[in-house]
Amino acid sequence: MIGGGYAEHGSVMTSSLIVRAAVASLAMAAGAALADTAAEAPAIACPAIAIESVQVVGDAPTLIMPGRPIVVKLKSFSAWLDCRRRDQAPMPVLYLDHVARPEFTARIDTVNDALRYSFSLGEQNRSAWAAAVGAEAQGQGVAVGLGSATVEASAIEQADGGGNFRMVLGDPLCRRLGDAYLVVLTLGSIIVAWLSRLVRDRGVLADGAVEWGRTYSLARTQLFLWSVVVAGVAGYLWITTGLLPALNVETLTLLGVSAGTTGGAQLLDRRGGQPPPVKPTSGFFLIDLLDDGQGASIHRFQAVLANTGLAFIFAIESLRQLDFYVMPPSWTAVLALSSGVYLGLKAREPGAGA
């Protein structure tokens, strides 16, 4: 009886194990079948990026500027959002004037069923603003588009209420303040230079000369010119954009060449112990700059052309690029060469001022 009981119990256990193994095999087969079915099922097609409308947040729906985001509504937004949640659709890259601008980030606005792109002005996207504002200055307007990092899929040029999009760096009041700053700086610098000895020759007055009739100094004028230009660019960009541009090596080199020219001219003037007597001015600013003691000289004329021309280009390009212009090394060398020739020949000038 006891042996038979053990045999019966063992048989039951064996049957139970067989049943469990069969159930596990069926479950594994069913799982594999479901996986094959899922793998064979085609992925849901995501809609192509297509813009329905674009609007700038604020009282001016077409005016794009730092601190004012834009709301981009997509066609088939719900379908795109479903794909996005399944990681099947990337976040679209913003295009301005048909150029990809990935530095402007976006977030999903589920309240308005749209994408909201934030605009800021910083060192990392200064060039993007400069390019867009440059297009605006030419009267072309700015197109707003979306796409991938390499291909623009959809673009629009007008807001809902009509009118082309425009990009500005700041409030119109800041632009007016920046323009006023340049005017005041320019006029103030001219007045100070005229009424003071800031850009005039130093030393004992020659016979017939008066204090306010000193000749103008080419070396001092060169340093004065570049100092005013750099200060004007820096102040204007800070007022209009809120960012003070960092001085680059090229700009420091331009200031260094001018400062070196002024210092070298003073050393040459005092090579005999005392600077030469200051002659009375000719009455014309340019003639004073060109006069080497024997009339107008070609090396001084070259220095005047190099400094005025490069200073003008530097100012215009800096304002256009919203940063200090990187002067090509060859043109910086031209400026340095002009200063070197001027100092070299100045040592042989017969008692002329700086």
Dig out the tokens for 139 from the structure.
């009267």
Predicted confidence at residue 3, as pLDDT, reads: 46
Q: Fill in the amino acid letter for 232.
A: G
Dig out the tokens for 319 from the structure.
């304002």
Tokens 């990935």 found at: 102
Please, what is the angle between helix 218-241 and helix 249-269, to 10°?
150
Q: How confident is the model at residue 41 (pLDDT cuts 50, 70, 90)?
A: very low
pLDDT over 70 (residue 23): no
Predicted confidence at residue 351, as pLDDT, reads: 53
Pairing, β 106-109 against β 99-100: unpaired
Stretch 274-282: mean pLDDT: 71
Q: What angle do CA 41, 45, 48 make, to 5 degrees?
A: 170
Where would I find the H helices in 139-269? 172-195, 218-241, 249-269
CA torsion through residues 28, 32, 33, 38, sign: positive
Predicted confidence at residue 88, as pLDDT, reads: 86
The residue that leads in pLDDT, 156 or 206, is 156
User: Distance between CA 145 and CA 25 in Å, rounded?
Assistant: 55
Closest to 319 in 3D by CA, of 221, 257, 209, 236 = 236
pLDDT over 50 (residue 210): yes
The residue that leads in pLDDT, 1 or 173, is 173
Stretch 243-263: mean pLDDT: 89
Per-residue pLDDT tens digits for 222-250:
999 999 999 999 999 888 877 788 889 99
The residue that leads in pLDDT, 108 or 104, is 108
- For residues 345 and 292, the answer to whether their CB atoms sit within 8 Å is yes
pLDDT over 90 (residue 20): no
User: Distance between CA 192 and CA 224 in Å, rounded?
Assistant: 11
User: Distance between CA 220 and CA 216 in Å, rounded?
Assistant: 8
Mean pLDDT of the chain: 79
pLDDT over 70 (residue 5): no
Closest to 201 in 3D by CA, of 292, 311, 272, 337 = 292
pTM: 0.64
Percent of the chain with pLDDT over 70: 76
Q: How confident is the model at residue 29 (pLDDT cuts 50, 70, 90)?
A: low
pLDDT over 70 (residue 165): yes
- For residues 218 and 338, the answer to whether their CB atoms sit within 8 Å is no
Phi/psi of residue 107, each to 5°? -140, 155
Predicted confidence at residue 63, as pLDDT, reads: 80
pLDDT over 70 (residue 138): no
DSSP 200: B
Stretch 287-298: mean pLDDT: 82
Q: How confident is the model at residue 7 (pLDDT cuts 50, 70, 90)?
A: very low
Query: What DSSP line would sit under 81-124, residue for residue?
Result: HHHHHTT-SPPPEEEETTEE-TTS-EEEETTTTEEEE-----GG
Predicted confidence at residue 181, as pLDDT, reads: 96
The secondary element (H helix, E strand) that includes residue 166 is strand 166-167
User: Distance between CA 204 and CA 195 in Å, rounded?
Assistant: 18
Of how many residues is the chain composed? 354
pLDDT over 60 (residue 47): yes
- For residues 262 and 308, the answer to whether their CB atoms sit within 8 Å is no
